[in-house]
């Protein structure tokens, strides 16, 4: 048939945004998962690398996911180590 349209493909369903579970003392601020493979725990910290200073910076979970940072659960944040010659800077929330 001339001019007939092909049937429309079904679009994948959009996932609803995770409900916020903001809390005090370094606990999860959103339902983002840990960046480590095969870990299904919620992230509690955000890791960022500063390559120019050979530094790994670990702080409280960022408000939004950033493409050049890694969200880590409590277990992986505690076990974090850096390559030889690098410094690890851990920002701690006071009063937690």
Angstrom CA distances, 22 to 16, 32, 57, 61, stand at 17, 12, 22, 11
The HSE-up count of residue 50 (CA atoms within 13 Å, CB side) is 8
Question: pLDDT 10s digit of each residue in the chain, 96 long?
Answer: 565 665 555 544 444 444 434 333 444 445 899 999 999 999 999 999 999 999 999 999 999 988 999 999 999 999 999 999 999 999 988 886
In a domain, residue 36? The reply is yes
pLDDT of residue 1: 52
Q: Which of 59, 63, 65, 44 is nearest to 94 (CA)?
A: 59
pLDDT of residue 10: 52
In a domain, residue 13? The reply is no
Question: pTM score, two decimals?
Answer: 0.66
Expressed as residue numbers, the domain containing 38 is: 26-96
What total of structural domains would you count in the chain?
A: 1
């Amino acid at each position: 048939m001339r001019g007939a349209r092909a049937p429309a493909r079904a679009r994948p369903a959009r996932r609803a945004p995770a409900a916020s579970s903001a809390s005090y003392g370094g606990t999860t601020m959103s339902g983002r998962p840990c960046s480590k493979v095969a870990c299904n725990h919620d992230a509690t910290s955000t890791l960022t690398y500063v390559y120019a200073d050979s530094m790994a910076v670990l702080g409280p979970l960022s408000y939004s996911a950033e493409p050049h940072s890694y969200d880590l659960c409590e277990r992986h944040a505690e076990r974090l180590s850096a390559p030889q010659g690098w410094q690890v800077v851990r920002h701690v929330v006071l009063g937690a």
